[in-house]
């Protein structure tokens, strides 16, 4: 079977949106100590069942979630329809392990989709390839039942009666439901593959085999997507040749624009947390500052990438107050500066980024945005921009920034430095988290 040709897919909306919300929500939100809690603490099925039995998010209001996401400047959202624990937020025919059978008593995914669509956000579904609940998912080293050490024969023994093909079919059935029952799905975020040979003792996860395209039956999986919603963007974690429709660097900021073997820029989306865990983690303290989060967003766009920023709602169905604070801060900045984010990408070649700054560029309007992270004294030299700027202004208040072009013809010194343009800055930076100067190019 051939990998479907998906090269015609339109990724424009995705690249123009630039900023999306990741939502990790499941019964692990009740444990409130990491979405991997079942694995980290090797919790048994019987014990883990307590979360399912008590899942009652009485303050779940997806309209409010969508409002918060949109106000932050986000234009799409990706929600965990099923995470590694196997619990489904949607009403699947193929399992009882779903929100409809908890005290919540209804299909929470449907409410999410309706609310986010109504607010003008694109819809993405995260779907976990791993499944720590399904009886036919074969135990691997990521599984809560994995052995600390052991041979392949030991694993074959604990996997007796587990038929991986039944699980692969289950995934196809569920993705069929997801792509049939909820209208247009703009993006599928599949998670994750860890191909490779049997590992006798991985200090982090224990022993066991890897999982990849042969286990997931990735080609057949993609056939289902292709048949039902060919426009749907799919990430790169199915272990298929190529990079999927977009790359997904996780908890790292790429140091440069990722390119393919021909040097073409790749579509990419960094996925990031506020504090480390993806699911609600009550006691985690390592929350990123508003400034760092804005830097991540801007830095990503300056390299042609998206930021998918995660919230882990509580078991009552609300965003963590620390996430709310930061989303509001980002929204405040975005309300005046989103023009340097939405529809923007890296700057044309040849414009050298000044120190402590990032450029983004809107190719449609031919405007360049200079983000200044450390306000310098009085001036900034823009290398490569001599005689290229028609007008410059601060984005927060549209106040003019005067500039002086250095004209190569009238300057005796040879060399690129005289092709600069010099911006004249006020001593006081504008009262915003990250000042942006909008440069209208000729
Ligand atoms: C990792 C984690 C998972 C999380 C995902 C998001 O794969 O296993 O918990 O959902 O990252 O990128």
Question: Does residue 412 register a pLDDT over 90?
Answer: no
Burial class (CB in 10 A: 0-12, 13-18, 19+), 196: exposed
| 384-402 residue pLDDT tens | 898 899 999 999 999 999 9
| 348-366 residue pLDDT tens | 998 999 999 999 999 999 9
Q: Which residue among 31, 191, 269 is best mutated to probe the pocket of ligand 1, counting the most ligand atoms within 8 A of its Cβ?
A: 191
**Ligand 1 centroid vs 391 CA: distance in angstroms?**
44
Q: For residue 78, is the peptide bond before it cis, meaning its omega torsion is within 30 degrees of 0?
A: no
Pairing assessment for the beta strands 19-23 and 305-311 based on DSSP bridges: parallel
| 265-293 residue pLDDT tens | 999 999 999 999 999 999 999 999 999 99
pLDDT number for residue 148 = 84
In this structure, are residues 173 and 131 in contact, taking their beta carbons and an 8 Å threshold? no
Banded pLDDT at 86 (limits 50, 70, 90): very high
pLDDT number for residue 4 = 42
pLDDT number for residue 167 = 98
Pocket of ligand 1 from Cβ distances under 6 Å? 24, 35-36, 191-192, 250, 271, 278
pLDDT number for residue 410 = 57
Task: Quote the pTM value.
Answer: 0.95
**Ligand 1 centroid vs 379 CA: distance in angstroms?**
43
Nearest to 336 by CA among 212, 431, 203: 431
Counting from 1 in the atom list of ligand 1, the atom nearest the Cα of 248 is 12
Counting from 1 in the atom list of ligand 1, the atom nearest the Cα of 250 is 12
Output DSSP code: residue 399.
-
pLDDT number for residue 207 = 84
**Ligand 1 centroid vs 132 CA: distance in angstroms?**
14
Counting from 1 in the atom list of ligand 1, the atom nearest the Cα of 36 is 9
Q: What is the residue with the minimal CA distance to atom 10 of ligand 1?
A: 278
| 149-192 residue pLDDT tens | 888 899 999 999 999 999 999 999 999 999 999 999 999 999 99
Full DSSP string of 126-149: EEES--SS-TTSPP-TTSTT--SS
Question: Does residue 2 register a pLDDT over 50?
Answer: no
Counting from 1 in the atom list of ligand 1, the atom nearest the Cα of 128 is 10
CA distance 265 to 254: 13
CA distance 87 to 27: 7
Average pLDDT for residues 9-25, to the nearest whole number? 96
CA distance 208 to 154: 9
**Ligand 1 centroid vs 271 CA: distance in angstroms?**
9
Average pLDDT for residues 76-92, to the nearest whole number? 98
Average pLDDT for residues 132-139, to the nearest whole number? 97
């Amino acid at each position: 079977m051939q990998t479907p040709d998906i090269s015609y897919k339109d990724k424009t909306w995705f690249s123009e949106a630039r900023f999306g919300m990741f939502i990790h929500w499941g019964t692990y939100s009740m444990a409130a100590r990491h979405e991997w809690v079942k694995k980290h603490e090797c919790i048994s099925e019987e014990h883990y069942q307590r979360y399912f039995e008590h899942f009652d998010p009485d303050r779940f209001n997806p309209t409010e979630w969508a409002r918060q996401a949109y106000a932050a400047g986000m234009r799409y959202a990706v929600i965990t329809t099923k995470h590694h624990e196997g619990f489904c937020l949607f009403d699947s025919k193929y399992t009882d392990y779903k929100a409809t059978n908890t005290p919540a008593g209804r299909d929470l995914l449907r409410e999410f989709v309706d609310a986010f669509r109504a607010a003008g956000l694109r819809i993405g579904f995260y779907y976990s390839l791993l499944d720590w609940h399904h009886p036919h998912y074969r135990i691997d080293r990521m599984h809560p039942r994995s052995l600390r050490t052991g041979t392949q024969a030991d694993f074959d023994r604990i996997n007796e009666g587990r038929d991986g093909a039944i699980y692969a079919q289950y995934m196809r059935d569920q993705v069929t439901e997801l792509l049939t029952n909820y209208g247009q799905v703009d993006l599928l975020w599949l998670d994750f593959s860890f191909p490779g040979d049997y590992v006798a003792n991985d200090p982090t996860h224990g022993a066991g085999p890897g999982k990849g395209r042969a286990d997931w039956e990735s080609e057949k999986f993609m056939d289902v997507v292709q048949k039902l919603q060919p426009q749907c963007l799919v990430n790169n974690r199915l272990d298929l040749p190529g990079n999927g429709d977009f790359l997904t660097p996780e908890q790292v900021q790429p140091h440069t624009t990722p390119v393919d073997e021909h040097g073409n820029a790749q579509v990419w989306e960094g996925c990031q947390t506020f504090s480390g865990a993806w699911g609600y983690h009550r006691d985690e303290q390592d929350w990123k500052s508003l400034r760092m989060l804005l830097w991540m967003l801007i830095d990503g766009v300056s390299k042609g990438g998206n930021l998918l920023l995660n919230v882990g709602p509580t078991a009552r169905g609300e965003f963590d107050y620390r996430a709310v604070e930061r989303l509001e801060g980002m929204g405040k900045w975005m309300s005046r500066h989103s023009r340097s984010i939405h529809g923007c990408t890296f700057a044309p070649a040849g414009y050298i980024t000044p120190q402590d700054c990032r450029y983004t560029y809107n190719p449609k309007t031919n405007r360049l945005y200079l983000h200044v992270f450390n306000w310098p004294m009085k001036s900034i030299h823009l290398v490569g921009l001599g005689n290229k700027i028609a007008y410059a202004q601060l984005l927060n208040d549209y106040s003019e920034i005067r500039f002086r072009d250095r004209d190569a013809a009238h300057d005796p010194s040879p060399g690129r430095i005289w092709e600069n343009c010099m911006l004249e800055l006020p001593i006081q930076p504008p009262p915003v988290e990250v000042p942006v100067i909008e440069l209208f190019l000729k």
